[in-house]
């Protein structure tokens, strides 16, 4: 049975957040209650006695949480594992994560945590230095080596020489977001997929002439997703991917501050130009997602950002409005003048952090083995993605998986009455990272045109991995304070520049404002840490 705890109740009972002390990988074997002997690659984890783990559950309202899901039942009946759920609404997940970790009440593990998001919690001792225990996680380490991800993972090591997160691993790069256009209109206009952002702008100009009553492009997510995936081809970082704003200049071999760079300015100028020409909706940076969706589905706009799930939402909107022949088409991210790039790290997905208090549990080794099996073994990933063979899906003679015709996922069976996530709990991000692991498994849940889109994205060049710049505890504290102030200023000014509320003639003054907020001190911290790590 799944145990459901309110976060407030968890805070009151104080069940985590301790220090792992002097434990290392060898010591884990001393706390082996419920653990399997000689757990190795290919082994199916079954606890030798009942095992319970607490988990912070990111509750997406699209499918919610059901304690009677087959996912939970199968884990208990076939693997002797039960999960005690600390429920955190999607809208409040990051704040709830900070609250439980900061208060010293972290559950055993917290999924849906991307590399870098663990850093603020390291100095307080709340997180397990998982790199000390990789010998007990054979599936994770096997994929690191088989997919040549060891160097990428080592870039996540901190100043103390340890890593505090287990990222989701992908065999091939996976891109979640891009532009979505009205495919029927793009075909009508004779457009090919735009190879560059300038070509996309040219297409918007022609669309504006042909459809004067529509705004060609009205984006969602306050443009933050688009700035993120566009920034690689402007040689910078922005939007959702802005992070701490520290960006490595591979030519100069040093870190710079992205928000003050000429490349960042060029990115903002491009989108400001779209708005100035009337090619982009002036409400893009302020409207809520639902409003943006409705504009696209109603034909008030003809391009928007999105992913595969979004295209299904847009398509339902077309159907509700009776827009015959309308197609929401996901296109590859346009390239830049100097090439066709995506950011490195595209083979790391949302991962998980483990509480340092787990290292003191008698069943510590079993918990490591279970996490390794569920999130990194081929069997665990197949189970978490597709469910139970013979009940939710079948495998044909050609090896292709096929959902039960009464169950839908990603519109594979759009007329089905049941849904693999909502009714069974599978393909649920907290228990699967975001998309899966092997390319075969990732592609297996998508419709053919999405697979085709991903394959086109694989042709893009991945920018070099950012080298590590691990901070000391004192530097982490200093950097955290500087980053917050600087990022807030950059985000506010970026919106002002794009909206035309601030002239680009004022750019030098803006950079001076960042310097007054100790931008150079943050850059110096990063470069000093980088030099130490060499």
Domain ranges for the chain, please list them.
34-172+347-437, 177-344+465-533
Q: What is the mean pLDDT of residues 143-168?
A: 93
By DSSP bridging, strand 81-89 and strand 341-342 are unpaired
Q: Report the pLDDT value the prediction gives residue 183, as an integer from 0 to 100.
A: 97
Helix (H) or strand (E) holding 348: strand 348-354
Question: Which structure tokens are listed for 50?
Answer: 């009942």
Question: Which residues have a Cβ under 8 Å from the Cβ of 189 and sit 6 or more positions away?
Answer: 203, 206, 207, 210
20 confidence band (pLDDT: 50, 70, 90): very low
Helix (H) or strand (E) holding 168: strand 166-169
Please list the alpha-helical segments (H only) found in 26-110.
70-79, 93-102
Phi first, then psi, for residue 420 (nearest 5°) are: -60, -35
Q: Is 211 helix (H, G, I), strand (E, B) or coil?
A: coil
| HSE (side-chain half, CA atoms, 13 Å) at 68 | 1
What are the tens digits of pLDDT across the range 442-500? 889 888 888 899 889 988 998 888 888 999 888 988 998 899 899 999 999 999 999 99
What are the tens digits of pLDDT across the range 265-285? 999 999 999 999 999 999 999
Please list the alpha-helical segments (H only) found in 459-506.
473-499
240 confidence band (pLDDT: 50, 70, 90): confident
Q: Is 77 helix (H, G, I), strand (E, B) or coil?
A: helix
Q: What angle do CA 68, 69, 73 make, to 5 degrees?
A: 80
Predicted TM-score of the model (pTM): 0.80
Domain 34-172+347-437 classification at class level: alpha beta
Question: Which structure tokens are listed for 422?
Answer: 């909502």
26 confidence band (pLDDT: 50, 70, 90): low
Q: Is 440 helix (H, G, I), strand (E, B) or coil?
A: helix
- CATH: 3.30.70.3270, 3.40.80.10, 3.40.190.10, 3.40.50.1100. Which one for 177-344+465-533? 3.40.190.10
Please list the alpha-helical segments (H only) found in 262-392.
262-276, 289-298, 308-321, 364-376, 378-386
Q: Report the pLDDT value the prediction gives residue 3, as an integer from 0 to 100.
A: 55
Q: Compute the distance between CA of residue 332 and CA of residue 327 in angstroms, rounded to an integer.
A: 16
Judge whether 34-172+347-437 and 177-344+465-533 match in fold.
yes
Helix (H) or strand (E) holding 451: helix 448-458
């Amino acid at each position: 049975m799944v145990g459901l705890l309110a976060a407030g109740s968890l805070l009151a009972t104080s069940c985590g957040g301790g220090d792992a002390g002097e434990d290392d990988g060898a010591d884990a074997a001393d706390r082996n209650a419920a653990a399997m002997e000689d757990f190795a690659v290919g082994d199916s984890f079954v606890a030798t006695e009942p095992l319970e783990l607490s988990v912070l559950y990111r509750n997406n309202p699209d499918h919610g949480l059901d304690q009677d899901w087959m996912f939970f039942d199968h884990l208990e009946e076939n693997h002797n594992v039960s999960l005690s759920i600390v429920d955190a609404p999607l809208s409040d997940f990051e704040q709830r994560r900070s609250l439980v970790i900061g208060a010293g009440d972290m559950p055993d593990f917290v999924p849906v945590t991307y590399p870098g998001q663990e850093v603020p919690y390291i100095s307080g001792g709340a997180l397990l230095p998982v790199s000390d225990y990789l010998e007990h996680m054979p599936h994770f380490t096997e994929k690191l080596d088989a997919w040549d991800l060891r160097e990428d993972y080592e870039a996540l090591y901190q100043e103390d020489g340890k890593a505090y997160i287990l990222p989701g691993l992908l065999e091939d790069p996976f891109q979640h977001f891009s532009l979505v256009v009205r495919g029927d209109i793009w075909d009508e206009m004779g457009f090919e997929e735009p190879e560059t952002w300038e070509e996309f702008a040219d297409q918007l100009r022609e669309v504006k002439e042909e459809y004067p009553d529509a705004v060609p492009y009205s984006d969602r997510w306050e443009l933050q997703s688009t700035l993120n995936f566009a920034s690689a081809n402007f040689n910078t970082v922005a939007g959702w991917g802005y992070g701490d704003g520290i960006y490595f200049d591979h030519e100069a071999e040093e870190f710079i501050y992205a928000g003050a760079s000429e490349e960042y300015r060029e990115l903002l100028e491009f989108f400001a130009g779209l708005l100035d020409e009337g090619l982009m909706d002036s409400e893009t940076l302020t409207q809520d997602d639902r409003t943006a969706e409705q504009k696209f589905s109603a034909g008030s706009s003809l391009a928007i950002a999105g992913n595969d799930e979004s295209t299904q939402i847009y398509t339902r909107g077309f159907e509700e409005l009776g827009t015959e022949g309308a197609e929401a088409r996901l296109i590859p991210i346009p390239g830049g003048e100097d090439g066709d790039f995506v950011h490195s790290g595209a083979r790391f997905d949302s991962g998980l952090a483990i509480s340092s208090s787990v290292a003191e549990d008698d069943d510590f080794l079993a918990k490591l083995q279970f996490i390794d099996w569920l999130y990194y073994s081929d069997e665990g990933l197949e189970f978490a993605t597709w469910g139970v063979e013979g009940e939710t899906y079948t495998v044909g003679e050609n090896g292709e998986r096929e959902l039960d015709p009464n169950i839908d996922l990603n519109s594979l069976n759009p007329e089905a009455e049941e849904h693999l996530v909502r009714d069974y709990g599978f393909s649920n991000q907290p228990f699967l990272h975001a998309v899966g692991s092997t390319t075969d498994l990732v592609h297996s849940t998508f419709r053919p045109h999405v697979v085709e889109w991903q394959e086109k994205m694989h042709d893009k060049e991945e920018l070099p991995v950012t080298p590590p710049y691990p901070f000391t505890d004192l530097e982490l504290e200093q950097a955290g304070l500087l980053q917050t102030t600087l990022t807030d200023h950059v985000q506010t000014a970026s919106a002002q520049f794009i909206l035309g509320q601030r002239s680009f003639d004022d750019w030098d003054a803006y950079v001076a404002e960042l310097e007054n907020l100790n931008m150079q001190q943050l850059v110096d911290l990063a470069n000093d840490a980088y030099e130490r790590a060499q």
